[in-house]
Amino acid sequence: MGITASSYTLFPDTISCGGEVEGILSLSAGPDIVSNPADIVMVLDCSGSMEGEPFAAMKASVKTFIDIIDESTDENQDGNIGGGSQIAIVSFARTATQWTGFLTNTADLKTAVNNLTIDGGTNHEDAFTKAYSLFDPDTTHQKIMVMFTDGQSTAGGSAVPITTLAKENGVVIYCVVLKGLFGTDVPAASLWVSSPATSFLSIAPTTAELEEIFAELAANISNPGATEILMEGLVADDFILTELLPPDKGTAQMLDAHSFRWNIAKLGATAIEGASLRFRLKHIATTSGEKAPMKEISYSDVENNVVIFSVRKVFTDCTEEIDVTPCPPVVTFTMDDCQDFLEYDLGNFIWENAGRILECSLTLRQICPNRSTALALILTEIDDEGESRPRGFQTFTIPAHHANGCRDIHVKAIRFVLPEDSDTACRSCRLCKKRRFKMQVIAHAIESNFSCK
């Protein structure tokens, strides 16, 4: 079987400037399908959200998968799966349907795939139940389920009990998740698949990646596990590698701040198994935007398995921060041994955050009833050169009154904040300097009976 699944994930998908992101690389592999025949159930999502391009892509990918299994089991694509391996098709929406039992005739399998139709609802529990019931408990074959889905369960109960039972009885469960219109339940899928979940769960953000995942699985299906695996990671310039955790298979080494190596002697040589590696990356640039933390991840092994890791990106937010209250200057002094009193002059200090607040009020005269008023105030300051400097602009809607005639309205508590550092002529004068201001007021009625025709 070779490498049957691979994945590369990053989380979180948004970090601040200088933040960290965790990455996970995962692989799963299995023995040669020719010498170790497999019963494979394809469990296919036919819910309403799959309609259109995703549905067509799924059908095409599954038929390609069938052809590769055919060719890899008897060295030619003759329409019959050899070596004792066989495939069954189960579809599901609101309920699940067994379209075929285990078959070796690829034309019959493709006919079943072509006949799949869209329906409402998503019942993963029934899908796994119908798929599991197809396996012969006494078989010596490998037992494999490949679940494909794009959504969350909307019908039936939890699929965890049936998937747990299946795994306890030797069924290996893979899951390919296409990100759907209404969201996907990745945590639930992680509970369905075999362990470690990262090795048996693949997430395809687009239909193009869905086809890539099935193509990779098909390309590796005939290889007998994988030996002398070498994976090398090259970190992008805007990030550095801060931590490389011990993998659950093989050994990993941090070569420098921008590269690492992962070696596995063998994987899946006698039974299907998975492996994963976790690492942490830190953002070191000062620019915002969507970035790929890994520049390259390469894979090689003796069997020439094909493994392609899709590009994953995170958004880095480097919004500038301004410290409006910097730390005060430090004054250093020393007290001698056994000295219990010290008089020390700390020098001259000025008020921190000096500034003024201007509170204004005004009276709007003879305001007609049933009309609200738009009010604006424009504040400027006259500097020592006689130039006007803008200091504030505020607008208000004054509610209409409903008296019998026009009346005055007093508007109060209109406040402007005037930091002392806005006085560019004399920053050191602080509150001891006179400051001159000008205020302009604009007011007019909002409602009118006028209509331009």
Domain end marker among 260, 295, 317:
317
Average pLDDT over residues 279-291: 94
CA angle 178, 246, 227 (to 5 degrees): 70
Position 352 scores a pLDDT of 62
| Contact present, 272 and 303 (Cβ < 8 Å) | no
Do 257 and 364 have their domain in common? no
- For residue 285, pLDDT over 70 is answered with yes
Q: What DSSP state is assigned to residue 387? A: -
pLDDT in tens, 25-62: 999 887 767 778 889 999 999 988 888 888 888 898 89
- For residue 148, pLDDT over 70 is answered with yes
351 domain residue, yes or no: no
Alpha carbon distance 65, 77 (integer Å):
12
Beta bridge partners, 240, equal 282
HSE-up of residue 390 (Cα within 13 Å, Cβ side): 5
pTM for this model (two decimals) = 0.54
Which range among 232-236, 312-316, 350-354, 393-397 shows the weakest confidence by mean pLDDT?
Answer: 350-354
pLDDT in tens, 206-243: 667 777 777 676 655 555 678 999 999 999 999 999 99
Position 219 scores a pLDDT of 58
Would you call 126 helix, strand, or coil by DSSP? helix
- For residue 424, pLDDT over 60 is answered with no
Letter for the amino acid at 393? F
Exposed / middle / buried, residue 430 (Cβ in 10 Å: 0-12, 13-18, 19+): middle
214 domain residue, yes or no: yes
Q: How confident is the model at residue 6 (pLDDT cuts 50, 70, 90)?
A: confident
Domain end marker among 317, 343, 373:
317
Q: What DSSP state is assigned to residue 401? A: P
Position 221 scores a pLDDT of 54
Which range among 400-409, 425-434, 440-449 shows the weakest confidence by mean pLDDT?
Answer: 425-434
pLDDT in tens, 60-71: 889 988 988 888
Do 304 and 391 have their domain in common? no
- For residue 426, pLDDT over 60 is answered with no
Position 322 scores a pLDDT of 53
Do 180 and 128 have their domain in common? yes
Exposed / middle / buried, residue 183 (Cβ in 10 Å: 0-12, 13-18, 19+): exposed
Q: Are strands 314-317 and 14-16 parallel, antiparallel or unpaired?
A: parallel
109 domain residue, yes or no: yes
pLDDT in tens, 85-114: 999 999 999 999 999 999 999 999 999 999
Residues of the chain with pLDDT > 90, as a percent, come to 46
Do 157 and 254 have their domain in common? yes
What average pLDDT does the chain have? Answer: 86
Quote the distance between the C-alpha of residue 53 and its chain's center: 23
Would you call 157 helix, strand, or coil by DSSP? coil
331 domain residue, yes or no: no
Average pLDDT over residues 315-327: 69
Q: How confident is the model at residue 323 (pLDDT cuts 50, 70, 90)?
A: low
Which range among 136-140, 221-225, 366-370, 443-447 shows the weakest confidence by mean pLDDT?
Answer: 221-225
112 domain residue, yes or no: yes
88 domain residue, yes or no: yes
Question: What's the total number of domains in the chain?
Answer: 2
Do 134 and 248 have their domain in common? yes
Expressed as residue numbers, the domain containing 435 is 356-445
Domain end marker among 297, 317, 337:
317
Do 286 and 363 have their domain in common? no
HSE-up of residue 351 (Cα within 13 Å, Cβ side): 12
397 domain residue, yes or no: yes
Q: Mean pLDDT highest for which of 132-136, 173-177, 345-349?
A: 132-136
Q: Which residue has the higher pLDDT, 344 or 143?
A: 143
Position 326 scores a pLDDT of 64
Do 249 and 372 have their domain in common? no
Position 406 scores a pLDDT of 83
Do 125 and 229 have their domain in common? yes
Average pLDDT over residues 76-91: 90
Which range among 139-153, 261-275, 345-359 shows the weakest confidence by mean pLDDT?
Answer: 345-359
Q: Which residue has the higher pLDDT, 34 or 131?
A: 131
44 domain residue, yes or no: yes
Do 122 and 195 have their domain in common? yes
Position 185 scores a pLDDT of 67
Beta bridge partners, 80, equal 105
Do 243 and 297 have their domain in common? yes
